[in-house]
Amino acid sequence: MRYALILAGGSGTRLWPLSNESLPKQLVPLAAGRSLMEAAYERLEGVVPEERRFLCGSARYRDATLARLPALARASASGLDRYIGEPQGRDTLAAVALSCAIIAGEDPEAVVAVLTSDHVIEPEDEFRALLDRAFALVE
């Protein structure tokens, strides 16, 4: 089955002064009042169902993230937690490895797209079509 993992790490230092320790870049509303993390989550519509979307970020920002992504909070409440909170930021490989191990525990045959939360990708319909083709190729 198809899964998506959105990487949403950060501690508020790279987009200063817009971001800070209490509002890291992934939570800053940059695009029409939405954060790029919200856009990344919504961009998966029609390709990966909400119950198979995961987000990996700092455990510290869990509540703030779930407040911005109520669909992720609902999916987490209905079963396996879809927010993977890193107790300590390490690097991208550690975040991907931990997250994929958790997803594999749920579905050993999972096909996982690893995406970032800090990009503007347009046009979104082309992105969805290409992501769908990539999944089909792997499947």
Out of 6-10, 76-80, 114-118, 132-136, least confident range: 76-80
**Binning pLDDT at 50, 70 and 90, where does residue 13 land?**
low
**Binning pLDDT at 50, 70 and 90, where does residue 12 land?**
low
Sign of CA dihedral 93, 74, 20, 60: negative
Global pTM value? 0.92
Write out the two tokens for 114.
């690893």
Give the angle 24-27-29 at the CA atoms, nearest 5°.
120
